[in-house]
């Protein structure tokens, strides 16, 4: 058969409609509550990674635009937001949450269109969770003294926030909601490949009546981000992205009194013990690495399987992988959407080559993928060893590196032998084993018999090169406060 076999399930197409989506052809910068043209007059295109077609042009903010945005945020902080009663601040944050729920459908479609993730994920995870973060932090806004008894918490001032392309709206919510609840104003920059939901959020914020300048949203690439980091009137930097840029940010703010939280990369161990419920564990492996095309900092990208169940796990895993549908992000059947950018696809393919060269055993499903756009079929490597680069470095794609283990001590050592420490997963029937593992593993978040579960009340963040500081929960609130 010349044509590659499609997966075992042949489902009729079920595309989500885009008819209700309102997008402008060109977006300016959202500064001081208004849409402002960029000083340099430059714009760049954001494309649909599943077709490579342009969706809209967005402004490229220069250092002068950044300065304008910081000044607007400072003015709003000094004159309005820091003086407002916390109860009133809470009302605005609640209103943003409500409006986001009302417009959830439009936000989900734009998120999948601009970034390539399956509509099922943006619809069921990204957008509802983003709204949940605003609801959660709205609740804290007038209760800071209860969150931190005897600490007299006060706001920091202006926060500069730089976010990545893997969860664009959700990361904006993670950053903006606690900052506002703690009484700060913000300048936020979305990633250059996925600016549209942040710009729609700016429209929503205008509709919410939030005072001008409390939230400023400016677009651009790395140099715009660097200008935010370097601006002298920023009190705090919140960054999510690559470890490389995280290190640059730390160098750049060294010696200043800027506060920072950095959420960087990961290479999580997902550990399957022989006493785990294997079918559930296989689902957890799939969710751990193929959720959002593997563009997940806490992805379960290193799988450790106990030797006695190795054959069964691999057989079931390959079988389940063959049922995954790769294709149109807006189709409700799609499991794996488009890779976010050509650059990221090149990185993933580079690591697949490295894995083969290192001698690991390569396996990829054979499903069809569209001709145009950026795609990667679900992939795994067997017989990986600890020293392989595919076991040590973050790939940020649908590529799983699999190793085996015999004892608890051995797998703890292997799991901790990583420059990262963001998350991990443990699959076992024994509660005592879970407690033993979680107390010995160096990872900020450890899931037991599940994976990639997020909740606004629960802190998230890393050890080692995965960064520092926590987002979510009252820990995430503390990161935007001075404790006096």
| Contact status: 264 vs ligand NAI (CB under 6 A) | yes
From ligand NAI, Mg ion, none, which one binds at residue 114 (CB under 5 to 8 Å depending on kind)?
A: Mg ion
Question: Residue 408 in contact with residue 436, Cβ under 8 Å?
Answer: yes
Could you give the count of Cα atoms lying within 13 Å of 293 in the half-sphere of its Cβ?
32
In 152-298, DSSP assigns E strands to: 153-155, 158-162, 185-189, 215-217, 236-240, 259-263, 269-272
- Binding-site size for ligand NAI (CB under 6 A) equals 25
From ligand NAI, Mg ion, none, which one binds at residue 222 (CB under 5 to 8 Å depending on kind)?
A: ligand NAI
Which residues inside 376-435 make contact with ligand NAI, applying CB under 6 A? 394, 396
**Long-range CB contact pairs, 376-379, < 8 A, 24+:** 376/293, 376/326, 376/336, 376/339, 376/345, 376/348, 376/349, 377/326, 377/336, 378/290, 378/321, 378/324, 378/326, 378/336, 379/352
From Mg ion, ligand NAI, none, which one binds at residue 245 (CB under 5 to 8 Å depending on kind)?
A: ligand NAI
Rg (Cα) of the chain, in Å, rounded?
Answer: 22
- Please say whether the dihedral angle defined by the alpha carbons of residues 402, 390, 427 and 165, taken in this order, is positive or negative: negative
Question: Residue 328 in contact with residue 369, Cβ under 8 Å?
Answer: no
The single residue of 106, 111, 192, 297 carrying the catalytic annotation is 297
| Contact status: 460 vs ligand NAI (CB under 6 A) | no
Close Cβ partners of 138 (under 8 Å, ≥ 6 residues apart): 90, 91, 93, 94, 97, 177, 181
Residues forming contacts to Mg ion in the complex (CB under 5 A) are 46, 114, 193
Tell me the window of 71-79, 104-112, 263-271, 318-326 that interacts with ligand NAI (CB under 6 A).
Answer: 263-271
From Mg ion, ligand NAI, none, which one binds at residue 16 (CB under 5 to 8 Å depending on kind)?
A: none
The single residue of 16, 263, 393, 471 carrying the catalytic annotation is 263
d(CA 374, CA 369): 9
The tokens 């957008």 sit on which residue?
A: 127
Judged by CB, which is closer to ligand NAI: 226, or 390? 226
CB of 213 to ligand NAI, least distance (A): 21
- Please say whether the dihedral angle defined by the alpha carbons of residues 5, 8, 12 and 15, taken in this order, is positive or negative: negative
| Contact status: 448 vs ligand NAI (CB under 6 A) | no
Reply yes or no on whether 297 is catalytic: yes
Question: Residue 118 in contact with residue 336, Cβ under 8 Å?
Answer: yes
From Mg ion, ligand NAI, none, which one binds at residue 185 (CB under 5 to 8 Å depending on kind)?
A: none
From ligand NAI, Mg ion, none, which one binds at residue 46 (CB under 5 to 8 Å depending on kind)?
A: Mg ion
Report the residue from 156, 229, 286, 479 that binds ligand NAI according to the rule CB under 6 A: 229
From ligand NAI, Mg ion, none, which one binds at residue 452 (CB under 5 to 8 Å depending on kind)?
A: none
From Mg ion, ligand NAI, none, which one binds at residue 465 (CB under 5 to 8 Å depending on kind)?
A: none
Report the residue from 116, 164, 373, 378 that binds ligand NAI according to the rule CB under 6 A: 164
CB of 8 to ligand NAI, least distance (A): 31
- Strands of 158-162's sheet, edge to edge? 34-36, 29-31, 215-217, 185-189, 158-162, 236-240, 259-263, 467-468
| Contact status: 70 vs ligand NAI (CB under 6 A) | no
Tell how far CA 211 is from the center of its chain. 28
Report the residue from 157, 168, 195, 265 that binds ligand NAI according to the rule CB under 6 A: 265
| Contact status: 176 vs ligand NAI (CB under 6 A) | no
Judged by CB, which is closer to ligand NAI: 295, or 414? 295
d(CA 417, CA 433): 20
| Contact status: 240 vs ligand NAI (CB under 6 A) | yes
Which residues inside 183-202 make contact with ligand NAI, applying CB under 6 A? 189, 191-192
CB of 55 to Mg ion, least distance (A): 6
d(CA 177, CA 180): 5
d(CA 364, CA 380): 6
Question: Residue 442 in contact with residue 414, Cβ under 8 Å?
Answer: no
Instruction: Give the angle 320-422-172 at the CA atoms, nearest 5°.
Output: 90
- Strand-pair partners of 481: 155
Task: Lay out the site mask for ligand NAI across 100-129 (x = CB under 6 A, - = otherwise).
Answer: ------------------------------
CB of 290 to ligand NAI, least distance (A): 16
| Contact status: 248 vs ligand NAI (CB under 6 A) | yes
Where along the sequence are the contacts to ligand NAI (CB under 6 A)?
A: 162-164, 166, 189, 191-192, 221-222, 225-226, 229, 240-242, 245, 248, 263-265, 297, 344, 347, 394, 396
> What is the set of active-site residues?
263, 297
């Amino acid at each position: 058969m010349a044509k590659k076999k499609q997966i075992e399930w042949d489902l009729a197409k079920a595309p989500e409609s885009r008819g209700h989506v309102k997008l402008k052809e060109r977006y300016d910068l959202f500064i001081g509550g208004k849409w402002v043209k960029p000083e340099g007059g430059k714009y760049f295109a954001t494309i649909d990674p599943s077709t490579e077609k342009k969706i809209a042009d967005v402004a490229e903010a220069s250092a002068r635009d950044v300065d304008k945005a910081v000044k607007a945020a400072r003015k709003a902080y000094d004159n309005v937001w820091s003086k407002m009663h916390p109860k009133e601040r809470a009302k605005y944050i609640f209103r943003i949450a409500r409006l986001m729920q009302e417009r959830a459908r439009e936000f989900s479609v734009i998120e999948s269109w601009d970034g390539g993730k399956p509509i099922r994920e943006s619809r069921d995870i990204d957008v509802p969770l983003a709204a949940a973060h605003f609801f959660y932090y709205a609740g804290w806004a007038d209760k800071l003294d209860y969150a931190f008894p005897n600490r007299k918490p006060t706001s920091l001032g202006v926060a500069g926030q730089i976010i990545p392309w893997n969860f664009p709206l959700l990361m904006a919510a993670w950053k903006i909601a606690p900052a506002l609840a703690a009484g700060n104003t913000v300048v936020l920059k979305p990633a250059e490949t996925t600016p549209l939901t942040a710009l729609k959020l700016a429209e929503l914020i205008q509709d919410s009546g939030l005072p001008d300048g409390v939230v400023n949203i400016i677009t651009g690439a790395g140099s715009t981000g660097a200008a935010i980091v370097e601006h002298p009137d920023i009190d705090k930097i919140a960054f999510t992205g690559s470890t490389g840029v995280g290190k640059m940010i730390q160098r750049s703010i060294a010696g200043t009194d800027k506060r920072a939280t950095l959420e960087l990369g990961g290479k999580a161990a997902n550990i399957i013990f022989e006493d785990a419920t294997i079918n559930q564990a296989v689902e957890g492996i799939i969710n751990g690495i193929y959720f959002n095309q593997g563009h997940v900092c806490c992805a379960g990208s290193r799988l450790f399987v106990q030797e006695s169940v190795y054959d069964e796990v691999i057989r079931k895993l390959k079988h389940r992988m063959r049922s995954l549908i790769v294709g149109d992000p807006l189709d409700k059947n799609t499991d794996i959407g488009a890779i976010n950018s050509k650059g990221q696809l090149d990185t993933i393919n580079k690591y697949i080559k490295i894995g083969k060269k290192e001698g690991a055993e390569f396996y990829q499903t054979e499903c069809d993928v569209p001709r145009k756009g950026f795609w990667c079929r679900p992939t795994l490597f067997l017989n990986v060893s600890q020293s392989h680069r595919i076991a040590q470095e973050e790939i940020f794609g649908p590529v799983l590196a699999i190793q085996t283990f015999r004892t608890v001590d051995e797998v703890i050592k292997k799991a901790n032998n990583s420059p990262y420490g963001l998350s991990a997963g443990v699959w076992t029937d024994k509660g005592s084993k879970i407690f033993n593992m979680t107390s010995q593993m160096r990872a900020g978040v450890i899931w037991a018999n599940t994976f990639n579960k997020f909740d606004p009340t629960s802190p998230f963040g890393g050890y080692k090169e995965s960064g520092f500081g926590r987002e979510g929960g009252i820990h995430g609130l503390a990161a935007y406060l001075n404790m006096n």
